[in-house]
Structures are given as C-alpha cells and as structure tokens.
Amino acid sequence: MSGLASVGCEPGTEIEMSSNNHAYNRELQQDARSWAAFTGSKYTAALRQMTSPFTQGLLGDRPSARHLISVLDQHPLVGTDDDGPSLSDNGFYADDPWRFNGQTDFVELVLVVEMLRMFTPTVAGQEPELSSYKLKHTAEQFLRPHCDYVSNGRLIWAAAALGLDLVDRGGSLNLSVGVSEREHHYLRRLTGSGQERPRGHQFRPPGLLHLQDALARCAAGGPLTGAWVRPASAQVGAPFHDWLTAQVGRPDPVGDIANDYTAGVRDSDHPIASTPGELLSLLYDVEPSPSFYDAAVAAIAEWMATSPEAAPIRTDLVTRDAHEVAGWGAGPGDIEVYRYRCPCGFGEIVEEHDNTPGFREHDVHIRCDRCREEWLFAAGLPVRGWGLVPAIGAGRAQAG
C-alpha cells in the first residue's frame, strides 16, 4: 500500500535508503496532489496533512489518500453507481456534497481509519450489528481532542477503505459495520461520559492500548514505538468458564448464576473466571445474597463432580507474615503465617509454618463455621499446596 514499511527498517546501503526515501516522498506528493484536487484545497495544505505524524500508519500501513478516494468510486456498496455517488457526510445515499475544510480533513479521516482498526473485524457468517451512527459517536468520544467531529458518512468511508463488512439495512442513512459489538461496548464504557468503567478486559479492543499510546506520542511530537501486530485470535482454554456459560438457561439456581455470570462477561462487568476460585473472587466483590452464594457453591460442586479437569480451589491471599524467632537451643528459625479468604468471604483460611529447628510444624485450617461445613481440604496435598473441594461434591463422589 505504501513504501512506509521499508523506510529505515533495514540496515541497507545509503543508496537503497535514499531511494526508499525518494519513493516514499513521491508517494506523499502524489497523495497530496490527489487529495488537493479531490477536495479543492491547496497542494501545500494537503502535503502538510500527508506528512503529519498522525497519518503515517499507527495500527498498520499508512492510509493512502489515493486509496481512500478510489473507495468512493469503486467500493461495491458505497462506490459510485449509475445514479452517481452513493455516500456523503450524512450517510448512505445522502445527496449533499462532501464538506472539506482543506486543513485537517485528511488527518481526521485517517484517525477514524485508525480508530476502526483497533477492533476485531467480524468474520464470515457473523452478521454485523453495529450502526455506523453509533460508531461515529464512539469515534468522536475516543478521538477527542485530536478530532472533535466525525460525520456518519466519514465513518462509513473509513470502514469501506479498511474492507470491513458493511450491510445496508434498507432505507437508512446508516450502515451496519463489521466490527466486534462486544469490543465496541467496552470502548463505549471506557470513553463515554457517565458510563461505569469496564471491570473486565476480555473484550478490550486488541489495538486499543497501542493506539492510545501512539496518539499521545504523536500529539507530544515524540517518536513512535514499533509497529503493532494484530494478535492471533487464540482462544485461551478456560474449561470452568466454558462449562458455566454452557449452563445458561437451566431452570435452576445453577442456571441463574450461569445467566448472571455470562451477562457480566459479555458486558465487561467483570473478568472471566477460568477457575472456580476466580468465580469466588468475583463474588467477594459483589457481596452476593446468601442464595446466590449457595448457587455458586452448587455450580462449583457440580463442575468438580463432572469434570476431569477440575482442580481443588485456592482462595485469595489476604496477608503474609514471616518473623524470625530465636529458637530453643537448636538455633534460630522463623514462623510464617499466610491468611487467605475463606470461600464465603466472612472468615479465613490460615496456613502456618513453624520453621524453628526441633519444631517444624506445618498446618492449615479453616476459620469460618460456615465454610468448615461446606468445604473440605482435598486429600493428598502438601500443606503449602492445600486446595478445597465442596463437601457436597465429595459426598456425592463417595456415594457414587
């Protein structure tokens, strides 16, 4: 798409370097000429925009002005058809002409391209759900103060230039744009006014942090860091999470907690619980009703009884204390005490190690009446490697 990738990357000879620079400058000049002609603005103003740090490609190749212009002519949906142009600022088949200010119009369009690049695109078979109109507002929120206004048409234009899936819902100025709806929701919570900030980051747009950093660097006039590489969409194995989300819709307490948990993951209310212990950690934060906690224990017991991948539960460490002691004749040693939350959160699990020569006692116990009834230490584990299993699950396993 451009010669940018080859500039300054390879330890080539001076001749190669200068020819790369020469090719790159020619690209910029051709783009500036095309943009000036297309928008009816001055060449020098267009060239200034082509050389702005903001337009050199923050999450990928430098977006080329000639490519952007050609999209309006050739794109299968929003390109020119027999009746003329099919896109302008107000949206799809709006018939007002584009408005260009001749100063920042190209930079702003490129910033919308970069904003859309941060998301995971929808894949074949996945229906785009996000309205271009909603996205344009999110783009404005996110790109402030670098760009204050984004028109619906420019949002669609940028999406078309990136090859994102675009769907005409019929009779609307808006199109549906093929980027992850969950990731958009996350960004909306992050940047929208009056929104509660996301507390789980499973749907953070993959390019978000790099783009935020790059925008700040551009604004400060500093050098950019290395190129961003879109992460491969490797699904991290989280068997407990997968099992729990598969229980959605069950007409019992386990179904209820599965519904709540899955909705919370989807809306970035909390992180994914890849283990039952992580589910208990999430529950500490929301102070569940007793029946909700009971449902969580029932879900965990069922998972442990049915899944070969289930491991005993560890809970959150609260404090760690170690102090040296003089010892009794055989020399000094130390005593370590670790306090963990108990599963219900109202008591604790205490792990103690007396490392004094001649004593060397190691012990772990539950200091919570309720959890002593409901949980057992899994058999066969060393004190430091303790883990809990639900008493009802253990009972069922023994009975079975």
Query: How near is the Cβ of 284 to Zn ion at its closest, in Å?
Result: 11
Query: How near is the Cβ of 293 to Zn ion at its closest, in Å?
Result: 10
Please count the CA atoms within 13 angstroms of the CA of 382 that sit on its side-chain side: 4
Here's the x/- map for Zn ion, 345-364, by CB under 5 A: it reads as -xx-----------------
**Is position 388 an interface residue for Zn ion (rule: CB under 5 A)?**
no
| Residue number with CB closer to Zn ion (215 or 280) | 280
| Residue number with CB closer to Zn ion (137 or 370) | 370
Segment contacting Zn ion (CB under 5 A): 231-239, 244-252, 286-294, 366-374? 366-374
Residue of 45, 187, 344, 388 interacting with Zn ion (CB under 5 A): 344
Q: Give the contacts of 56 (CB within 8 A, at least 6 positions apart).
A: 4, 62, 224
Distance, CA of 267 to CA of 261 (rounded, Å) = 10
Tokens 């088949």 correspond to what residue?
93
| Residue number with CB closer to Zn ion (253 or 347) | 347
**Is position 368 an interface residue for Zn ion (rule: CB under 5 A)?**
yes
| Residue number with CB closer to Zn ion (59 or 342) | 342
**Is position 371 an interface residue for Zn ion (rule: CB under 5 A)?**
yes
| Residue number with CB closer to Zn ion (48 or 370) | 370
**Is position 342 an interface residue for Zn ion (rule: CB under 5 A)?**
yes
Could you give the C-alpha distances from 183 to 7, 144, 201, in angstroms and in order?
Answer: 33, 19, 9
Size of the site for Zn ion (CB under 5 A): 7
Query: How near is the Cβ of 351 to Zn ion at its closest, in Å?
Result: 15
Here's the x/- map for Zn ion, 292-331, by CB under 5 A: it reads as ----------------------------------------
Closest to 278 (Cα-Cα) out of 311, 256, 236 = 311
Segment contacting Zn ion (CB under 5 A): 217-225, 252-260, 340-348, 376-384? 340-348
Closest to 101 (Cα-Cα) out of 135, 168, 147 = 147
Segment contacting Zn ion (CB under 5 A): 72-80, 89-97, 302-310, 371-379? 371-379
Could you give the C-alpha distances from 172 to 104, 130, 165, 169, 176, in angstroms and in order?
Answer: 28, 14, 17, 7, 10
Cβ–Cβ < 8 Å for 32, 17: no
Residue 293, token pair as written in the block: 């906690």
Residue 109, token pair as written in the block: 């369009």
| Residue number with CB closer to Zn ion (78 or 368) | 368
Query: How near is the Cβ of 298 to Zn ion at its closest, in Å?
Result: 16
Burial 1-22 (b: 16+ CB within 10 A, else e): ebbbbbbeeeeeeeeeeeebee
Beta strand segments in 103-145, E: 130-131
Residue ranges that bind Zn ion, judged by CB under 5 A: 342, 344, 346-347, 368, 370-371
